[in-house]
Amino acid sequence: MPHDPITDAALDLLRETDAEVADIIAAEGARQATTIELIASENHVSPAVMHAMGTCLTNKYAEGYPGARYYGGCVHHDQVERVAQDRAKQLFNCNFANVQPHSGASANAAAFLALLKPGDTFASLVLSDGGHLSHGLKVNMSGKWFNPVHYPLHYDENHPQFEQIDYDAVKRVCREHQPKLLMCGYSAYPRVIDFKLMREAADECGAIMLADIAHIAGLVATGVHPSPFPHAHVVTTTTHKTLRGPRGGLILSDDEEMSKKINRAIFPGMQGGPLMHIIAAKAVAFGEALRPDFKAYCQQIVANARALAAGLSEHGYRITSGGTDNHVMLVDLRARDQNLTGADAERWLEAAGIITNKNGVPNDPRPPRVTSGLRLGSPATTTRGFNETDMHQVAAWIDEVLAAGLTGEDQLARTSQRVRASVREMCDQHPLP
């Protein structure tokens, strides 16, 4: 774990009370400090954000909203929530922000509760092509309580937008099914989203447009990716990916009536007392994102993602859709070797200190627990100060490990040990915040 007097003191205090848990936390800190994090949905928060999470604000119930609480003693909680709201509105240039959702999935569920009735139809991307479980998975609330219909990517390999959103199909699906809500924004989509075209499709059938920008929120806030406003009626997001804040959710809008419905859907519709220590950390993260250097950080996220994608392409891997415009890429491992699976790749790379997650690629014939691909992202490495040269080196290490794994266990063990040592050296050169 990187040296931080406040964190070190907190762990020492915890160790006096519960050495077992303190040791686990310390071990996790060491793991993060000495491995390369390439999971697209993860990042490393600043010490200020981390410290805000561990404060006395956790001791208070604050059901309701600023100025309208159901408990006394909330004066400072009102203040910190208003700061978070104001900074979020400034960051995304909108008029309304609810900072209370516990997660992105909670934010989506609240939006559905506010805007739909059970059984209503909504449209989203085919989930196996990059959607999220809260976008209509049958075992999720969104798929159980509502009626999801799906629009596809371009599947024709000869089409110039192969494996990118088929906006004509979006319109066809909306005309055919007349959904009450059209959802865009994805969990594993590497290209710019045309929010204007999405709004046109929504308007044709009278649908509400909801943009889930959980992955690209930091890029949107800094103008590195186009904003869903003014096109989207409602925007949901997490706060912990490219936005580099604590784990949590956020709902944004410019529509006053929808905003009132969303407030009621969060409380009392779905949640009781908000997590005020997390809201304080959100406020700190939003403040960091409003600084000029955060835009440079987001620009570097994209540059690093493109460098990693290019490096992997040079080693014979296929990047779905041909590249990336944001922080994420889907790597089709079959181009390197038909026998290579995402599950094997994830396991082999972790042994070498490179942390990834297996992920299906469009039209993947393998099941979700196996997959033919990896989803990789650059936010966490960029936080540590990696540049394009570093990302090309990471691509080379990935190929070394996977090639060794295909050769056999003995070769894999030797290669993993050697790469692990090199990864530690690079991590020492780029310490955590």
- Active centre residues (catalytic): 61, 63, 212, 238, 241, 247
Three-state DSSP at 248 gives coil
Q: Is the peptide bond before 190 cis (omega within 30 degrees of 0)?
A: no
Cα torsion angle, 187, 45, 221, 261, sign: positive
Q: How many angstroms from the chain centroid is the CA of residue 292?
A: 22
Cα torsion angle, 331, 337, 338, 339, sign: negative
Helix axes 19-34, 409-429, angle to 10 degrees: 90
Give Cα separations from 291 to 160, 276, 278, 380, 399 (angstroms).
38, 23, 20, 19, 37
Q: What is the 3-state secondary structure (H, E, C) of 316-359?
A: CCEEHHHCCCCCEEEEEHHHCCCCCCHHHHHHHHHHCCEECEEE
| φ and ψ at residue 328, rounded to 5 degrees | -120, 150
How far apart, in whole angstroms, are the C-alpha atoms of residue 49 and residue 54?
A: 9
Three-state DSSP at 55 gives coil
371 Ramachandran zone, left/alpha/beta (phi>0; psi -120 to 50): left
Q: How many angstroms from the chain centroid is the CA of residue 278?
A: 17
Three-state DSSP at 377 gives strand
DSSP letter, residue 266 = I
Residue 304 near residue 144 (C-beta atoms within 8 A) = no
How far apart, in whole angstroms, are the C-alpha atoms of residue 424 and residue 32?
A: 11
Q: Is the peptide bond before 66 cis (omega within 30 degrees of 0)?
A: no
**DSSP output for 274-297:** --HHHHHHHHHHHHHHTSHHHHHH
Residue 290 CB neighbour total at 10 angstroms: 14
